[in-house]
Amino acid sequence: MEKRNIGKSGLSAPFLGLGTWAIGGGSWWGDNDDALSVKAIETAVEQGITWIDTAPIYGLYHSEEVVGEALRHIDRDKVILSTKCGLEWRHESPVLHKVVDGVQTYRDLSAKSIIEDVEDSLRRLGTDHLDVLYTHWQTPDLNIFPLEETVEAMMKLKEQGKIRAIGASNTTAEFIRGYCKYGQLDVIQEKYSLLTRRIEKQLLPTCKELGVSIQAYSPLEQGLLTGKVTMDTTYPEGSTRNTNPCFQPARRMQTIRLLDSWSDLCEKYHCTKAQLVIALTARMIPGLHVLCGARTPEQAIDNAGALHIALEGADAVQMKWDVDAIS
């Protein structure tokens, strides 16, 4: 199976990774069956989805704990494991992030906090190293948490063998340059889908220049790009879909028509609309990594189908034109 590089780290993985935010549960996702979640992770790896991404804040540590349990049954050397640092609720910091499941969280990108985060994550995950460590959110005030201090701490962890690659999530072109100036940056993790493409102009040129890979989260746009959403689909009060511009009537109709126009391609490639979208998304940006969630083995198997779709050049070009037409 083709693998794609992760920046200049020397690591590589198939383009499709497993996101485990939902596995963490909490008010955003609801309760989960942890045994089923463990099986979903095991199944994903068996199907060729070998990059597993988590974070301490997903379920307030619970996602990492579930991933750690799954790793007890998986050959660690077959997996690219990433987690994140920089969001705190063990202590306060001058930078408030938001309230998560009734808990006040803060941004803390100090060296002390990063090192504590990594040690705690290693323990929960039951491993002696992380393949990729992301800073989860960047600081709005570099006077409080200087970027040089943040990068120095991550470089030190890399020298110690506790992490193998350095990442940044929810970032800017200026921060990308800063990471590279003070040390190293291998990959960024950003929201990207066929409907949300702002990173193509805002971040992609800088990443190409500096050799930084991109991992996309939310490629199915909260389910809108699965082909299962209709104009009559409604969501509970408080759902972020209700305020997502892509779910508003005009944009939703555009999306439904776009997916319907690809029905013949689904028949041609013997795939679902979601699998076709994932396969195309992975071709929109050269070398792009794509992150999809799964809470059951069936969902993991369904996602993995995208790894086996070899889009013909003419089809990929036409689909990109179709996407451009509604962008």
Residues carrying an active site annotation: 58
CA dihedral sign of residues 46, 22, 103, 131: positive
What the block records as the tokens of 251 is: 């944009």
DSSP structure string for 215-253: EEE-TTGGGGGGT---TT----TT-GGGT-GGGSHHHHH
What the block records as the tokens of 63 is: 């996602």
CA dihedral sign of residues 190, 195, 198, 201: positive
Side-chain half-sphere exposure of 197, counting CA atoms within 13 A: 14
What the block records as the tokens of 81 is: 């494991």
At position 139, the amino acid (one-letter code) is T
